[in-house]
Amino acid sequence: MGEVFKQFLLLGLMSFGGPAAHIGYFKRRFVDELGWLDAERFGAIVAMSQVIPGPGSSQVGFAIGHHKAGLSGALAAFLGFTLPSFLLLYLMAVASLSWLDTSWFQGLIHGLKLMAVVVVTDAVLSMFNQFCRRGATRLIMMLCASFTLFVGTLASQLGLLILVAVIGAVWLAPSALQGLEQDTGQQGAKGGEGGLRPQMLPLMLFILLFGLSLFWLGTGHSLFQLFAQFYQAGALVFGGGHVVLPLLEASVGQQLTSERFLTGYALAQAVPGPMFTLAAFLGAESWLESPLLGALVATLAIFLPGFLLQLSLLRSWHGLMGRARFRGAIMGINAAVVGLLLAALISPVIASAILAWPDALLVLTGLAWQVRYRPSILMLLLGFALAGMLFGVLGGLF
């Protein structure tokens, strides 16, 4: 549990770039470097995070912690990955923000956005090689990337994932059978972790809290209402990240000025870790009687529904991976996820980071460094942070 906490705390301090980049960080650290799980299990976890509500990248981390050390490992992964951004956003909610406009800080953030381009590009290439080996999966990947770039609404992405799952269950099942026969013993052991039925206790708790939240919304200015607002946002949003913003704006945003709400949103993009820790800033702003208590309640509430659903499905999900049609559906979803990551790499990751030719040159240098020497994440972080601050200071002077 301590090792899980340490590894996720390290990632929580440096995971800039949003959900797509976080998946890249996780794969690099836990699959390629530490070997805590294989690429197939990692792909299954990523696929599950795409089809249940909640914070996508945090759910991947939660499941990796659960795979390594059970429920205590899952909680350690959540605490480690979330704690840095929670503390930063809480402190920013109660402190002066004048230093955010300084040239060195703006340069630092820009440098870390450029690092995210390198990390996401590496993740897309790696996952493409792993999950898009066949012509069918490559076709699915390209179609999903194109569709997401040109349509890109939340409802359309959910419909696309469902369609791809159905196609994969029919079209890719024979290919999935070949892989199933090759690792029958290993997959059988994994499949024996809990059969095909979901765990009922976390599922019932999710339903109970959702029902109570409907009642608590009408209790006026209270911690129960604050919990209900953030719990419903976490329970109703698919895809995580920026998708949660409209739900929060429609509920909590009515209690704050638009300036403070947008300030919190901008700060959540500027700090490492999951976008859902925006709840820490909004919770502190909404509960001025005790900002820390408000931040804790809001953060717990927005993460809780996704984690309860994941706990209910984790063991049955592993069991279902022993079924050829289900594996075929996951093969299709994995290819679609690569397409979604490619679309995210193009917009918003590249679009918001590469603003001039020096940015492109720095990214190409970073990619060459990454491919040739495979530096640690700390080395990447240090290099891009220093380069960003240098560019920011020079830009401020001239």
| Placement of tokens 């702003």 in the chain | 285
In Å, how far are 126, 144, 151 from 156, measured between CA atoms?
Answer: 26, 11, 7
Is cis: bond before 84, omega within 30 of 0?
A: no
Q: What is the pLDDT of residue 192?
A: 42
Burial class (CB in 10 A: 0-12, 13-18, 19+), 257: exposed
Q: What is the pLDDT of residue 184?
A: 42
pTM: 0.70
- In sequence order, the 6+-apart residues with CB closer than 8 A to the CB of 87 are none
- In sequence order, the 6+-apart residues with CB closer than 8 A to the CB of 205 are 308
Two tokens at 66? Answer: 């659960």
Q: What is the pLDDT of residue 189?
A: 38
Burial class (CB in 10 A: 0-12, 13-18, 19+), 99: exposed
Q: What is the pLDDT of residue 230?
A: 92
Q: What is the CA radius of gyration of the chain?
A: 21
In Å, how far are 13, 51, 210, 379 from 352, measured between CA atoms?
Answer: 21, 27, 36, 23
Q: Which long-range contacts (CB under 8 A, 24 or more apart) does 315-319 make?
A: 315/193, 315/194, 315/195, 315/199, 316/194, 316/195, 316/196, 316/197, 316/198, 316/199, 317/44, 317/48, 318/44, 318/190, 318/191, 318/193, 318/194, 319/190, 319/191, 319/192, 319/193, 319/194, 319/195, 319/196
From CA 387, how far away is CA 384, in angstroms rounded?
A: 5
* DSSP code string of 121-164: HHHHHHHHHHH--SHHHHHHHHHHHHHHHHT--HHHHHHHHHHH
- In sequence order, the 6+-apart residues with CB closer than 8 A to the CB of 375 are 369, 383
Two tokens at 315? Answer: 């063991």
Q: What is the pLDDT of residue 222?
A: 84
Q: Report how far apart the first and last C-alpha atoms of the chain are (Å, whole number).
A: 50
Q: What is the pLDDT of residue 71?
A: 92
The alpha carbon of residue 289 and the mean position of all alpha carbons in its chain are separated, in whole angstroms, by 31
Angle (nearest 5°) at CA 68 between 62 and 72 = 60
Q: What is the mean pLDDT of each run of 10 residues along the chain (398 residues)?
A: 94 80 87 89 83 83 93 95 94 75 79 81 82 89 88 65 85 68 44 60 92 83 89 74 62 69 71 88 90 95 92 78 77 82 79 88 92 79 87 71
The dihedral sign for the CA sequence 250, 271, 57, 132: positive
